[in-house]
Structure 1
């Protein structure tokens, strides 16, 4: 047996040259051709012949731009709060309306106009039947797309409403060319479904995957923080005089009011110096500043005599023991200070004020200005007594 005979025998075994099988596997084109024709015939005895089906994956914006003018836009509501779209061009809408009103698709071309709400109501039943028939047929495909459960919900007024109602996800779009009626009007139908099931929504307060990854990266980054104990100013001469053993005075409250700063000098937070397991530590305080008056370990800070303890404060009753000179006036007597408000006379014991004279004629006794001496009659400045002869104010 020659090599050509061997190759020919192998080709016959592998089926080369055989005609394609009579029964084609289920596909979207076949499902729509069978399902749409059956639904139109059962609903209104309308001839609906699918000629071509093109499947495309589009975004919402691309889908909106690819729709025909003056088309009937039907919003489809599906499972998991998803939406789909079914579009009849003006020829498909007019053919269905003519079939329902006159009983036949007219031979003349229909008028191109905007569809009305009445048109949507008349076409909604056929849309649901076509969608249901397509679902039944496509379910026999080896890997059927997700098209189950979508039904007519409402009519969209304009194309831009699609971007408002639809999520910004990819959509599986079918562009269908068909012939309607005995006259064979060529029309276009568009069918759009979400390309994939929706992602599960996060519960309230639940962190997203991206947020968790970002947080892990940020929390794993190396950061250097400096702790500033206290700020004060010194002259250059004082700093130059420093030597080994020089003591720098720092107030005690600085231990509980340290500043935590980043490498660029920005203040991050306040802190408090303490110890943990025998090691020095800084406790970060992220609350807002409430002032500089703080306490350390519940005890009042000793500011070098500037603040007195509660037991050292004099009582109001001891104020009477102060000397009159301590009160800043030589005319006050010590007893007058110590008597307190309790020894003052009551308001009812005060004497009555004398009657004031009438104002009328009170200025009649004043001398005239003409009786004052002239300026040239005043003694010169040189005749005034020298400063040495004036008494001291002490």
Structure 2
């Protein structure tokens, strides 16, 4: 015990709080996401702290009856996630009862079954944290850790962890009024994971790029889809007659002419005129009056669009 006190004093200079970084923003989101998508409960995260501790200091952090999840990382590195009795009980209740009870049960020593039930949640937190830090510097020490085993007491931990500095993050989780839990994540400060993925900034297109830009824009616009409707005629029928229509009923189309088909855009404006026919066994409309000629004809107001390509010769009419 005396040696532990001496070591803590020697490591006091390393126990300063870490500066705000990506992991301090990412961990609360990862905890909430894992609780929502896994057990299926909402939590409020508060009281986040981040420190750099020696191994001796880390061994004093786990509270009594806490579940200590051992984490395996890259290059045989080992970390821990400590779930206090309140957090462990809440995660077990929401999986067995479907909700967190208003009153907490009496604390008890964690079992192998408890560890198996929270292992997926631990992995989900680590995976969400890793995903959120793909472009952050903190990825190098949070990357690659997953649940490996558990301890129900702290004594064996001194032999399983490397005697080196650890980055330690702790925060409070509130499930319902009066039901709180605490989680502690401790990973070796010397990271062995991937480096962040830096994306090169996309060049800003120059609106005055010249003919190349104009040609590219024209190609994009030419590939855009446009809906054109061929209208034979339009009729107005009283609702009473519509309700009486049935199989075999005949609906007169006054003024319908197969050589006078209006081509209309999706906005209902006429963009051309054609003649009904057939092509390769399918219904077809042969363009007779392009859109640019509509302005010179006494038809409905039309928009001017580029001339449509000439249709194939009709093989027949009908």
- Give the TM-score normalised by structure 2: 0.52
Q: Name the counterpart of 1:37.
A: 32
For 1:32, what is the secondary structure of its paired residue? helix
Helix, strand or coil for the counterpart of 1:131?
Answer: helix
Match of 1:138 in 2: 133
CA 1:86–1:142: 2 relative to 1, 3 Å = closer
Structure with more relative contact order (C-alpha pairs < 8 Å, separation 6 or more): 2
Question: Structure 2 matches for 1:5-16, cutoff 5 A?
Answer: none
Which residues in structure 2 correspond to 1:6-155 (within 5 Å)?
A: 27-141=22-136, 144-155=139-150
Cα distance 1:58–1:142, how it changes in 2: closer, same or farther (>3 A)? closer
Matched, 1:159 2:154: yes
TM-score normalised by length of structure 1: 0.42
Post-superposition shift, 1:178? 1.5
Deviations 1:97-136 (A, max 9, x none): 1111110000012211111111101000100001110111
Distance in 1, matches of 2:128 and 2:102, equals: 28
8 Å CA contact 2:59–2:157 kept in 1: the answer is yes
Secondary structure of 2:47's counterpart equals: strand
Output the aligned Cα RMSD.
1.8
Q: Is the 8 A contact 1:27 1:138 kept in 2?
A: yes
For residue 19 of structure 1, what is the aligned residue in structure 2?
none
Question: Which whole-Å deviations, capped at 9, do the CAs of 1:65-115 have from their partners, x for residues lacking one?
Answer: 122111001100001011000010001010011111110000012211111
What CA distance in whole angstroms lies between the structure 1 residues aligned with 2:133 and 2:102? Answer: 33
- Deviation, 1:142, is 5.2
The correspondence for 2:189, drawn from 190, 195, 198, is 195
Task: Tell me how far 1:39 sits from its aligned partner.
Answer: 1.4
Number of equivalences = 173
Q: Residue 125 and residue 163 in structure 1: after superposition, are their counterparts in 2 closer, same or farther (change >3 A)?
A: same
Q: Aligned equivalents of 1:116 and 1:40: distance in 2?
A: 21
What is the rounded CA distance, in whole Å, between the counterparts of 2:134 and 2:63 in structure 1? 29
Q: Distance in 2 between matches of 1:53 and 1:164?
A: 28
- The offset of 1:26, in angstroms, is 6.3
Bigger strand share? 2
CA distance in 1, matches of 2:54, 2:21: 26
Q: Which residue of 1 aligns with 2:277?
A: none
1:98·1:105 contact (CA, 8 Å) conserved in 2?
A: yes
Q: Partner of 1:84: helix, strand, or coil?
A: strand
Query: Secondary structure in 1 aligned to 2:125?
Result: helix
Structure 1 residues 302-332: Cα deviation after superposition (integer angstroms, max 9, x where no partner):
xxxxxxxxxxxxxxxxxxxxxxxxxxxxxxx
Q: Which has the larger radius of gyration?
A: 1
List runs of 5+ in structure 2 lacking aligned partners.
1-19, 193-318
Superposition map of 1:221-232 within 5 A: none
Q: In structure 1, what is the Cα distance between the partners aligned to 2:178 and 2:35?
A: 14
